Structure 1
Amino acid sequence: KNISNMNDIAIYFADPGTPSQRGLNEHSNGLLRKDGLPKKMDFNQGFISSVASKRNHIPRKSLNYQTPLEVFLSYVNEEQLSRLI
């Protein structure tokens, strides 16, 4: 509440045990499970990178049917991109 009041922003906290209040989170978790990410797993960087890459190449209606990667690349120029690599 202090952060919310200091910055004049609204922060929403879902009630415990109510997944219906966290729809986007639950949907994302379901997609990750479908990609083979079990609930209790020892994460290794290679597997996580491959899942992230797969997820970032799926077109999204909310992005006018572009992929998250396409939208990201539309906001950065080559110089900025080379500094990220």
Structure 2
Amino acid sequence: DSGIPVFICDPHSPWQRGSNENLNGLIRDFYPKGTNFNDVSEDELRQMQDLLNARPRKTLGFNTPAETLDEYLRGVALTT
């Protein structure tokens, strides 16, 4: 209904999920593989989330994910 394009990748095909794999790498900068997330607070996770959502992305025309989502949501609100 929103008009946001959705793509389904094949299982075990990381080359089809470039942005997702890139984000996984950025998360690993904060929390290395093997991190026990039971020991990570909600505030720490929220801080990481806010930092990553405020980071401009080349694939988004150097807009941030937060800006891009806001743009889509405003477009959907105008069409309903």
Residue 11 of structure 1: CA displacement?
A: 5.1
Runs of 4+ in 1 over 6 A off after TM superposition: none
Report the counterpart of residue 11 of structure 2 in structure 1.
13
Between structure 1 and structure 2, the one with the greater Rg is 1
Distance 2:68 2:21 in 1: 24
Alpha-carbon RMSD: 2.6
**Share of identical aligned residues, percent?**
27
Structure 1 unaligned regions, length at least 5: 1-9, 15-20, 81-85
Distance 2:21 2:68 in 1: 24
Higher relative contact order (CA 8 A, sep 6+): 2
TM-score under structure 2 length normalisation:
0.60
Q: Deviations over 1:30-64 (max 9, x none)?
A: 21121x21322233211111111111011111111
Establish whether residue 64 from structure 1 lines up as the match of residue 49 from structure 2.
no
Structure 2 unaligned regions, length at least 5: 1-7
